[in-house]
Amino acid sequence: MERGDFDALSALWLEDEISCVHPGWPVLSGRGEVLRSYALIMSHTDYIQFFLTDTKVAVIGDTALVTCTENILSGGPAEDGGELGPLVGQLVVATNVFRRTSEGWRLWSHHGSPVLTDSAEDEEEDPA
């Protein structure tokens, strides 16, 4: 995703029934829908970097559950067509389910939910 390599990202997913929930999106089902969503995101994102924290992995047989916090920094094109547009930070908690295949571990399902944080507006509210 960070390299913008759609083919490499596609190869991470299982060939059969998969699902994905991006923050604020409905459930996407099937390889076509899921991969189209990543193509759309990649086509509108000039820069993206993930800093993963709070990572936990549980493996049972040929299934793995990976949870983490994705600290995402991203930016799109500048409105005037110049350099990279403003960078935006986002905090997402993610659950990823993998299955072991003969080709290695492949992603079966991804679910990302935004983390709601207190805004400066909330801190400035008058208690009266």
Domain-embedded: residue 121: no
Domain-embedded: residue 33: yes
Domain-embedded: residue 32: yes
Residue type, 20: C
DSSP state of 94: E
Containing 7, the helix (H) or strand (E) segment is helix 6-11
Q: What is the CATH number of the domain that holds 32?
A: 3.10.450.50
Domain-embedded: residue 99: yes
Domain-embedded: residue 49: yes
Domain-embedded: residue 127: no
State the pTM of this model: 0.82
Per-residue pLDDT of 5-21, as tens digits, reads 999 999 999 998 999 99
Domain-embedded: residue 13: yes
Count of domains for the chain: 1
Per-residue pLDDT of 78-126, as tens digits, reads 666 666 677 888 999 999 999 999 999 999 999 999 998 766 455 555 5
Sheet holding 84-101, edge to edge: 28-29, 19-21, 104-114, 84-101, 63-77, 47-60
Domain enclosing residue 32, as ranges:
6-77+86-114
